[in-house]
């Protein structure tokens, strides 16, 4: 199995092998074409050691053209000029510098390509003048210049195409990485959201069960009928809690092929009575104030408001030692204002806001954090603390317009 490092090494080695094969092909082609008598040389010199050396130098320059493009082009031009000066036969020698001209433009852009094409064109004109001893036929010089600049233009086009491909691949890689990071963030946010939902549901359910169980234990021997009522309340609370937990866990099992699968617990402000019943059963008298202009809210706002109220009432039942709790909802044009105030005695902010989540003393610090996070996630505001007139107040403002 090839590792990424091995694949990269193979890719880097491939151009070197191609250049080696091209250099050997150039050398073989020049030597084989030496038997063809050029029409511009009346008495060509047979190949000798100098000619073979020039062929070897040209082949080596072609092999190293990617590593040293400027030097390779210079050597190829010098070789072509020396070959013409020696009057050696081969129609391929004048074409070899075009390879170097193309390579320089492809690797370094049009400015270097133009300079290389100009140098190659001048060298080609000089070689033609030397080969024909000054009597240059019409049209040959023009063709040589045209071929030289054509090679440079082709190299420039190929170089820009390669640069565009590299830039496109880099952009695609960055976009892919950004999508992966965004997906990971969404997964983390979804897990945190599910954790908050479970915390709120289980905390509220267990608080109600604990209170009703205590009532039942206290009354089972003296008032059996009221003990039975407490047990019935426990069953209702636990059934509702299990339903919410199943709905939340269903999010984890939801499949894209099941569009009707609920993606969040179907809880909202229209179900406030289910939150107030356990409060009454715990001996706390709730008062709910909802204005006549109450209107439907966006799903995210509706659920967040429900969970914030649920957690606040749970804290009242577990920690406040309150007799009454006042819940006020105010539907303003662009926001929803929630206020929960109790008359409990445990109004110390440290106990109310920073208490442990075990229910031993003070408010549930994790619950306060969860309520604050829900409000901030919707660009809202959250405050909690002792009320000047006594008791404890939780106040939350959640935008309901487009800013949500």
In a domain, 209, yes or no: no
In this predicted structure, which of 88-97, 113-122, 156-165, 308-317 has the lowest mean pLDDT? Answer: 88-97
Confidence of residue 76 (pLDDT cuts 50, 70, 90): very high
Query: 144, 177, 210 — which closes off a domain?
Result: 177
Q: Are residues 168 and 292 in the same domain?
A: no
Structure confidence by residue, pLDDT tens digits, 87-136: 887 778 888 899 999 999 999 888 888 898 999 889 888 888 787 776 66
Confidence of residue 346 (pLDDT cuts 50, 70, 90): low
Residue 1: its pLDDT value, please?
Answer: 47
Q: Which residues of 83-92 are buried (b: 16+ CB within 10 A; e: fewer)?
A: bbebbbbbeb
Residue 208: its pLDDT value, please?
Answer: 73
Query: 161, 177, 193 — which closes off a domain?
Result: 177
In a domain, 228, yes or no: no
DSSP bridge pairs for 336: 331, 398
Q: Are residues 147 and 289 in the same domain?
A: no
Q: Are residues 15 and 133 in the same domain?
A: yes
CA 359, 365, 366, 367: dihedral to nearest 10 degrees?
80
| Of residues 174 and 4, more confidently modeled | 174
Q: Are residues 158 and 34 in the same domain?
A: yes
In a domain, 107, yes or no: yes
Task: Count, in order, helices (H) and strands (E) of the chain.
Answer: 11, 5
Residue 317: its pLDDT value, please?
Answer: 82
Q: Are residues 29 and 156 in the same domain?
A: yes
In a domain, 261, yes or no: no
Number of domains in the chain: 2
In this predicted structure, which of 168-172, 213-217, 265-269, 283-287 has the lowest mean pLDDT? Answer: 265-269
Confidence of residue 38 (pLDDT cuts 50, 70, 90): low
Residue span of the structural domain in which 54 resides: 10-177
Q: Are residues 161 and 296 in the same domain?
A: no
The CATH number of the domain holding residue 301 is 3.30.565.10
In this predicted structure, which of 228-237, 285-294, 307-316, 377-386 has the lowest mean pLDDT? Answer: 228-237
Which tokens is 101 given?
A: 């001209």
In a domain, 224, yes or no: no
Residue among 311, 319, 325 at smallest CA distance from 367:
311
Structure confidence by residue, pLDDT tens digits, 360-380: 334 555 678 888 988 988 899
In a domain, 20, yes or no: yes
Do the beta carbons of residue 390 and residue 347 sit within 8 Å?
A: yes
- Degrees to nearest 5, angle at CA 358 with 354 and 359: 80
Q: Are residues 48 and 173 in the same domain?
A: yes
In a domain, 373, yes or no: yes
Q: Which long-range contacts (CB under 8 A, 24 or more apart) does 242-246 make?
A: 244/197, 244/201, 244/205, 245/198, 245/201, 245/202
Residue among 194, 78, 101 at smallest CA distance from 156:
101
DSSP bridge pairs for 395: 339, 383
Q: Which residues of 255-273 are buried (b: 16+ CB within 10 A; e: fewer)?
A: eeeeeeeeeebebbbeebe
In a domain, 189, yes or no: no
pLDDT winner (highest mean) among 67-81, 180-194, 255-269: 67-81
* pTM tops 0.95: no
Confidence of residue 395 (pLDDT cuts 50, 70, 90): very high
Distance, first Cα to last Cα, the chain: 52
Residue 264: its pLDDT value, please?
Answer: 47
Residue 94: its pLDDT value, please?
Answer: 80
Coil/strand/helix, residue 47:
coil
Query: 138, 160, 177 — which closes off a domain?
Result: 177
> Does position 261 have pLDDT exceeding 70, yes or no?
no
d(CA 233, CA 238): 8
């Amino acid at each position: 199995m090839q590792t990424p490092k091995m694949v990269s090494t193979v890719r880097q080695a491939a151009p070197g092998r191609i250049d080696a094969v091209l250099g050997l092909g150039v050398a073989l082609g020049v030597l084989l074409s030496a038997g063809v008598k050029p029409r511009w040389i009346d008495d060509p010199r047979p190949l000798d050691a100098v000619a073979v050396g020039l062929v070897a130098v040209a082949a080596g320059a072609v092999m190293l053209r990617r590593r040293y493009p400027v030097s390779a082009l210079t050597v190829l031009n010098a070789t072509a000029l020396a070959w013409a000066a020696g009057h050696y036969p081969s129609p391929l020698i004048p074409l070899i510098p075009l390879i170097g001209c193309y390579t320089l433009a492809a690797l370094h852009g049009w400015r270097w390509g133009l300079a290389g094409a100009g140098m190659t064109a001048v060298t080609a004109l000089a070689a033609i003048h030397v080969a024909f001893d000054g009597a240059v036929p019409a049209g040959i010089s023009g063709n040589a210049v045209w071929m030289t600049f054509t090679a440079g233009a082709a190299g420039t086009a190929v170089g820009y195409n390669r640069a565009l491909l590299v830039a496109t691949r880099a952009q695609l890689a960055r976009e892919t990485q950004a999508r992966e990071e965004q997906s990971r963030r969404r997964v983390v946010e979804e897990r945190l959201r599910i954790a908050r939902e479970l915390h709120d549901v289980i905390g509220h359910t267990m608080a109600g069960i604990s209170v009703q169980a205590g009532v039942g234990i206290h009354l089972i021997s003296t008032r059996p009928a009221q003990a039975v009522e407490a047990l019935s309340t426990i069953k209702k609370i636990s059934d509702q809690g299990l339903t919410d937990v199943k709905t939340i866990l269903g999010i984890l099992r939801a499949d894209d092929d099941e569009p009707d699968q609920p993606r969040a617990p179907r809880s909202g402000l229209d179900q406030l009575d289910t939150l107030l019943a356990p409060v009454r059963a715990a001996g706390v008298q709730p008062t709910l104030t909802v204005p006549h202009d109450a209107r439907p809210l966006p799903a995210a706002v509706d659920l967040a408001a429900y969970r914030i109220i649920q957690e606040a009432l749970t804290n009242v039942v577990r920690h406040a030692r309150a007799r009454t709790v006042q819940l006020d909802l105010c539907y303003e044009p662009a926001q929803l204002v929630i206020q929960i105030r109790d008359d409990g005695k445990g109004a110390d902010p440290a106990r109310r806001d920073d208490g442990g989540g075990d229910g031993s003393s003070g408010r549930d610090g994790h619950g306060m954090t969860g309520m604050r996070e829900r409000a901030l996630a919707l660009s809202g505001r959250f405050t909690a603390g002792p009320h000047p007139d006594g008791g404890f107040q939780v106040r939350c403002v959640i935008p309901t317009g487009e800013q949500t």
